[in-house]
Amino acid sequence: MKFTIRKKLVLTLLGVFSPFALIIFIFLITGLTRASYDFALQHLYDQSMTMARDVQLIIQNVYDRTVSLARTFENYTIIPADLRREYFNRLQQTTLSEKNNFVDVWTVWEPNALDGLDNKFKNQPGHDETGRFIPYWTKVNGIVSLNPLTDYDGSFWYENPLHSKVGILIKPNRYTLQGKTMYVAGSAVPIHDKNGKPIGVIGIDYSLSHMQDLFKTETVFNKGAPILVSAEGLVLFHKDDSLVSKELPEFSESDFSVFFKKAAEDLKPFHFVKKIDDAKWMYVYVPIKIGETKQIWFAGSALPVFDIYANGIKLTIAVIIMLAITAVTVFILLFLLIYKITKRIEQVTNSLYDIAEGEGDLTVHLPVTGNDEIADLATFFNETIKKIRSAVVTVGKAAGNLQKVGTDLSDNMNETTGAISQIGENIKEVKR
């Protein structure tokens, strides 16, 4: 089988193009997969940070309002002693009524620290048998009511903020208020006298319903989900409803708890991959700090790792299809170009073959197109054929002349032979 120039060029093209295409394919698969992974991870970080800011804003507003009330309460000495409780009760009631997400406002004062009138207020509305100022204003479905606080001595929500300089964030709990059960979190800030001595605590609790509703509207790609965790690891929102109101498993698992502990100190976002039911999930968490409090919450996002790569695979397939179409188009165009070039060479070859092996048509003329080497070849071929044709014509003419000379010479020889024969006859006659 003849190995033509066309075949050589096509095979050379395939030999060069195929490895190049393979390299591009591998590069695209690797690059797009990595880019997809990085994009998804960055998206999880961005979404988690957005949710963290939303949560921080809600908690910060509650904390700031609590601090504001504490600063107001610390100016109690400018109010007549017998009016202080009434004024502060009205202030708490107004605060509770103004905010839809507030479920209660409460305060606990040390014995006789407010006005020295504890004995006067024993067992009065909003008081217990101690007479201490312990109003507990609650609101459910817009209904505001007053009750005295209970079990405050020794409680973490009173003792901890009382001895804290900046207050605390109260861990979320399931509360039943006025017959309605809800998840509630809060903040509590110490109240100091003019000497800096803690004399009481003011606290505000708020419903987590608004925060949970906010998380329900968040979407993380197709199968991802947002997560909200309190400082104690209590799950407030999770893709797995069975975990809500329970401790987040990763909070106590040694492989992952270190991430939360470290983030609580340096306040830096983090991520990790965990296998759940034979599927790997990517988790991203962002720490949430409120003021100078030490309780750090976490807002997070979770997404199946397969979905991260699936998006990259889809993009890769789309790009490969476009590249394949482009490659086929380029290959066809190059093949047509090679065919056009080799076709002109074949014309020269066929013409030379006809001259060498065929009838030897010296009138053949190749078309001269373009301004390249093949055009030069066709030009030189035509010039060569032209010269050969001229030489053949010249030789033909010379051959005709030689034939005429030969004929004339033959006639002369015949005449000479006849003359010699006649002389011989004449000699014979003389001898007789």
The string of pLDDT tens digits covering residues 214-240 is 777 777 666 778 899 999 999 988 877
State residue 406 phi and psi, 5-degree precision.
Answer: -65, -40
Q: Are 283 and 273 in contact (CB under 8 A)?
A: yes
Q: Are 285 and 270 in contact (CB under 8 A)?
A: yes
Q: Are 185 and 170 in contact (CB under 8 A)?
A: yes
Token pair recorded at residue 1: 């089988």
> Which pLDDT band holds residue 385 (cuts at 50, 70, 90)?
confident
Distance of CA 316 to the CA centre of its chain: 13
Domains of the chain, start order: 57-211 (3.30.450.20), 219-308 (3.30.450.20)
Q: Is the dihedral of CA 108, 67, 166, 82 positive or negative?
A: negative
The string of pLDDT tens digits covering residues 88-140 is 999 999 999 999 889 999 999 999 999 999 999 999 999 999 999 999 999 98
pTM, to two decimals: 0.69
Residue 431 is predicted with a pLDDT of 62
Q: How many CA atoms lie within 13 A of 175 on its CB side?
A: 20
The string of pLDDT tens digits covering residues 188-212 is 999 999 999 999 999 999 988 877 7
Q: 233: exposed, middle or buried (C-beta count within 10 Å: 0-12, 13-18, 19+)?
A: middle
Q: How far is it, in rounded angstroms, from Cα 419 to Cα 392?
A: 40
Residue 17 is predicted with a pLDDT of 67
> Which pLDDT band holds residue 419 (cuts at 50, 70, 90)?
low
Token pair recorded at residue 14: 């395939």
The 3 state secondary structure assigned to the chain is: CCCCHHHHHHHHHHHHHHHHHHHHHHHHHHHHHHHHHHHHHHHHHHHHHHHHHHHHHHHHHHHHHHHHHHHHHCCHHHCCHHHHHHHHHHHHHHHHHHCCCEEEEEEEECCCCCCCCCHHHCCCCCCCCCCCCCEEEEEECCEEEEEECCCCCCCHHHHHHHCCCCCEEEEEEEEEECCEEEEEEEEEEEEECCCCCEEEEEEEEEECHHHHHHHHCCCECCCEEEEEECCCCEEEECCCHHHCCCECHHHHCHHHHHHHHHHHHHCCCEEEEEEECCEEEEEEEEEECCCCCCCCEEEEEEEEHHHHHHHHHHHHHHHHHHHHHHHHHHHHHHHHHHHHHHHHHHHHHHHHHHHHHCCCCCCCCCCCCCCCHHHHHHHHHHHHHHHHHHHHHHHHHHHHHHHHHHHHHHHHHHHHHHHHHHHHHHHHHHHC
Q: How far is it, in rounded angstroms, from Cα 218 to Cα 53?
A: 14
Residue 29 is predicted with a pLDDT of 72
The string of pLDDT tens digits covering residues 262-306 is 999 999 999 999 988 888 899 999 999 998 899 999 999 988 888
Residue with tokens 């056009």: 340
Q: 344: exposed, middle or buried (C-beta count within 10 Å: 0-12, 13-18, 19+)?
A: buried
CA-derived radius of gyration, the chain: 52
Residue 355 is predicted with a pLDDT of 65
Q: Which residues contact 89 (CB under 8 A, 6 or more apart)?
A: 126, 135, 137, 146
Residue with tokens 């030897």: 360
Q: How far is it, in rounded angstroms, from Cα 370 to Cα 2?
A: 28
> Which pLDDT band holds residue 26 (cuts at 50, 70, 90)?
confident
